[in-house]
Amino acid sequence: MITAGIDVGSLSTDAVVMQDDQVLAYVIINTGVKAQTAAGRAFGQALEQAGLTEGDVDAVIATGYGRMSVPFANSQVTEISCHGRGAAFFSPDVRTIIDIGGQDSKVIRVDAQGNVVDFLMNDKCAAGTGRFLEVMAQRLELGIEQLGQEDLQAGRAAQISSMCTVFAESEVVSLIAQGVPRPEIVRGLHHSIAERTAGLANRLGLANGVMMTGGVAKNQGVVRALSEQLGAKIAVPPEPQIVGALGAALIARRKHAQQSE
């Protein structure tokens, strides 16, 4: 059975095309201002990569904040369920998922099948999210993908005391002016995100078997800082940014199989 999952996030739109348990193709593009356009483009590109056309696909599920803007989807499922199912696909031992995306962060507890048991979410402000890191990377004249490497050069972490993005940015500006080495500032920012996320995780209660998903999991500095804060090992799947879309494609298969029974 061929299924697809489309995750229309605040920053990235991700599409995954699967044949049963196998990923045939995936695409990550910027969401931009029109969710519907991004969804269509990501799906089209993923189909092209897989050498398929829309008619070959048995079921499509949309997820993410823009999931209602995907006219070609058969149904919509929340990101929480999709990240749960997607993470379980990578490892059946996962019980706690930490998803940090562009706009929010979530901690999700799942059972062995990837069914959601409980979750907590921070979507009140940019602090502790990918957006926070994007603002700071720009201020530090670094690409978002360079932050992890920069962190590795640090001997210690600079103190960033404000949790608010706007105030933290001012702190970064004064740290630069004081001549604090850039890697130390980067590590300080990663510590700040880790502290905030660990607070959320500890409120929910951490179960062993932790996996990080979402684009920020590509930043090894954040993963390390969070692992230290939690005192737990954190697994990162090969492409953490597509876990939501992958979970959607897997849920599409289960739903479609039930319908055709």
Contact segment (CB under 6 A) with ligand ATP among 34-42, 90-98, 215-223, 245-253 equals 215-223
- Give the shortest CB-244-to-Mg ion separation in angstroms: 5
Let me know: does 87 contact 251? Beta carbons within 8 Å. no
- Give the shortest CB-169-to-ligand ATP separation in angstroms: 15
Nearest residue relative to Mg ion (C-beta): 101
Residue 10 binds which one of Mg ion, ligand ATP, none, with CB within 5 to 8 A depending on kind? ligand ATP
Let me know: does 243 contact 214? Beta carbons within 8 Å. yes
145 lies in the binding site for ligand ATP (CB under 6 A): yes
Let me know: does 248 contact 66? Beta carbons within 8 Å. no
209 lies in the binding site for ligand ATP (CB under 6 A): no
76 lies in the binding site for ligand ATP (CB under 6 A): no
209 lies in the binding site for Mg ion (CB under 5 A): no
Contact segment (CB under 5 A) with Mg ion among 8-16, 39-47, 124-132, 204-212 equals 8-16
86 lies in the binding site for Mg ion (CB under 5 A): no
Residues 13-72 contacting ligand ATP, CB under 6 A: 64-65
239 lies in the binding site for ligand ATP (CB under 6 A): no
130 lies in the binding site for ligand ATP (CB under 6 A): yes
151 lies in the binding site for ligand ATP (CB under 6 A): no
Q: Which residues bind ligand ATP (CB under 6 A)?
A: 9-12, 64-65, 101-104, 130-131, 133-134, 144-145, 214-216, 218-219, 241
Q: Which residues bind Mg ion (CB under 5 A)?
A: 9, 101
